[in-house]
Amino acid sequence: MKIKCGGGVVALSESQSEAQHPKIEDREPRKKKVVVLGTGWGATSFLKGLDASLYDVQVVSPRNYFAFTPLLPSVTCGTVEARSIVEPVRNIIKKTNGEIKFWEAECIKIDAADKKVLCRCNIENLVGSGEFSLDYDFLVVAVGAQVNTFNTPGVKENCHFLKDVEDAQKIRLSVIDCLEKAVLPSQSEEEQRSNLHFVVVGGGPTGVEFAAELHDYIQEDLIKLYPSVKDKVKITLIQSGDHILNMFDERISSFAEQKFTRDGIEVQTGCRVLSVNDQEITMKVKSTGSVCSVPHGLIVWSTGICTVPVIRDFMQEIGQAKRHVLATNEWLRVEGCENVYAIGDCSSINQRKIKDDIIDIFKAADKNNSGTLTIEEFQEVMDDIIVRYPQVEYYLKKKNILDLRVLWNDPQGNEREEIDIEGFKLALSLADSQVKSLPATAQVAAQQGAYLANCFNRIDHIEEHPEGPRRFTGSGHHNFRPFRYKHFGQFAPLGGEQAAAELPGDWVSIGHSTQWLWYSVYASKQVSWRTRYLVVSDWTRRFIFGRDSSRV
């Protein structure tokens, strides 16, 4: 079978369309080499789950620590210290059963043809060479993504991002700088207002949480120390869409907008930023088409992510050049590439459409080759279909269909005895509308890492006892069940000890109690007892002493 994939034509055998999960052969004394790129949510979750005694594992990342990124907005204002949300990778891998090696370096080239990665250490004043290459049998790519500036002029030079711990630390210093600048005796009132105009671009959870944190920091702590600037501080949140938090339930989104308006945070929806310089930000109001420039003291740019250069090069190499993001199959193996897996923000699962396999499914289900399916024949394949094509389950849920047999009815709702291929197509193809790419969140990356580690750990066992769904386009069963994301809900802290949460089952919770739920969930999700202790004691300290304003 040949499929056209991006710019190149890639040959994929049937068996390759599922994950080539690693196999440790008993007679081979050498352990297979697993190279992991990254130390973020995906990589860390993979490393924590992996039985490292089975493999020779090497980890490469420019950061020697894992960072609990959902607390980054808290770090920008000192509600939580940077160090409280990081854990050295070496500490994490020390606990795994076996010796994992870690190198603080950046992967600058993935050479899938020769099965090796080229890495470079960027530490200053290195005695000797910092470049080295690592061979792999299996590569796990979890390098994350970078901030998308949409090529807006001046953004890279004049805006803060909020992706890394360093970003958050820089923002913290800059906020204090803005206040110190504004109170100088040489400042005119207009200059004061410019220095104290904080702009947040992007109305997603990160931007909103940062705006809320900043508002609290200024109102609860800084105003007391800089009383003269009390009425001159302004926070503006710029969102290109019609609403902030538009990935959340509408109730949350409108609650957030109302709360921000009450708090005096200006929410400018329907605005697109055209350019930024060191003094002003220029934007276009979509509805009126008018362009305006406003002076700023600090801008935090938080509009979304895009692919990092090394992945872009890699995609070129493996024929994914025309894609936006590295595509994997449902078992997280990179498409068009043997033995390379990708998890987290750097990749996206290319969920197979049911309509592409519908004929094979029909054939497999039609045991007696009658050209029609009975309901019994249908029910027999349905379980495997639901595992292999999760969109079917989403579709059923969305349509509130509890009994599968409803699908069996004809368009008029009448029960049918048998169904032919056209009817079968009609019954299932609508489900493909429910194919959605997963959000670029910590939760997804962590689940993918854990899933992959579990597969790597059980590879020997699974060869004999495959647990995956039936192969409709071949014989036998897939070794593993495909990765399935389980959504546990999402928080949006809104400041003033209030938060909003979207919980599974379309539950929405907003208010002070949700903030306490947020505290307990985030405390429990910490990667180590050390960071848990630190984060909780940071919160306690903040309640007792407030946030610190030293420029450190």
CA within 13 Å, CB half, 546:
13
Q: Cα–Cα distance between 105 and 108 in angstroms, integer?
A: 9
Q: Two tokens at 424?
A: 């079968």
Alpha helices in 183-249 (DSSP H): 189-195, 205-216, 223-225
Q: Which is nearer to a copy of itself, 103 or 519 (CB)?
A: 103
Nearer to a copy of itself, 259 or 547 (CB): 547
Specify the residue, 267 or 534, whose C-beta has the smaller distance to a copy of itself. Answer: 534
Residue 372 makes CB contacts below 8 A (sequence gap 6+) with: 366, 418, 419, 420
> By C-beta, is 197 or 243 nearer to a copy of itself?
197
**Which residue lies nearer to a copy of itself by CB, 183 or 430?**
183
Question: Which C-beta is closer to a copy of itself: that of 125 or that of 368?
Answer: 125
For a copy of itself, the closer CB: 165 or 392: 165
CA dist 343 and 333 (Å) reads 9
By beta-carbon proximity to a copy of itself, the closer residue of 33 and 471 is 33
Q: Which residues bind a copy of itself (CB under 8 A)?
A: 63-65, 78, 81-83, 86-88, 90-91, 94, 103-105, 121, 123-132, 134, 165-166, 169, 176-177, 180-181, 183-188, 191, 194-195, 224-226, 278-279, 295, 297, 529-530, 533-534, 537, 541, 544-545, 548-552
3-state helix, strand, coil in the chain (%, to 5): 40, 25, 40
Distance in Å, CB of 131 to a copy of itself, minimum: 6
Return the number of the residue (475 or 545) whose C-beta is nearest a copy of itself. Answer: 545
- Residue 31 beta carbon to a copy of itself: minimum distance, rounded to whole angstroms: 17
Q: Which two tokens stand for residue 371?
A: 């050209």
Q: Which is nearer to a copy of itself, 5 or 82 (CB)?
A: 82
Q: How far is the CB of 238 from a copy of itself (least distance, A)?
A: 19
d(CA 265, CA 197): 11
Shortest Å distance, C-beta 161 to a copy of itself: 16
Q: What gap in Å lies between CA 414 and CA 424, rounded to an integer?
A: 15
Residue 14 or 166: which CB sits closer to a copy of itself? 166
CB of 48 to a copy of itself, least distance (A): 16
* Residue in the structure block whose two tokens are 């034509």: 9
Place of tokens 């379309």: 506
β strands within 429-530, DSSP E: 490-495, 498-503, 507-511
Phi/psi of residue 83, nearest 5 degrees:
-70, -20
Following DSSP, what letter does each residue of 92-127 receive, concatenated?
HHHTSSS--EEEE-EEEEEETTTTEEEEE---TT-S
Nearer to a copy of itself, 233 or 365 (CB): 233
User: Measured from the CB atom, is 90 or 425 closer to a copy of itself?
Assistant: 90
The tally of CA atoms less than 13 A away on the side-chain side of residue 188 is 3
Residues 395 and 98: their CA atoms lie apart, in Å, by 43
Residue 552 to residues 82, 172, 351, 546, 548, Cα–Cα distance (Å): 12, 9, 47, 16, 10
The least CB distance from residue 551 to a copy of itself, in Å, is 5
Task: Name residue 16's amino acid.
Answer: Q
How far apart are alpha carbons 500 and 313 in whole angstroms? 39
d(CA 205, CA 244): 9
Distance, CA of 218 to CA of 291 (rounded, Å):
30
Give the C-alpha separation, 287 to 268, whole Å. Answer: 12
d(CA 230, CA 222): 9
Contact, 87 vs 527, CB < 8 A? yes
CB–CB of 245/252 below 8 Å?
yes
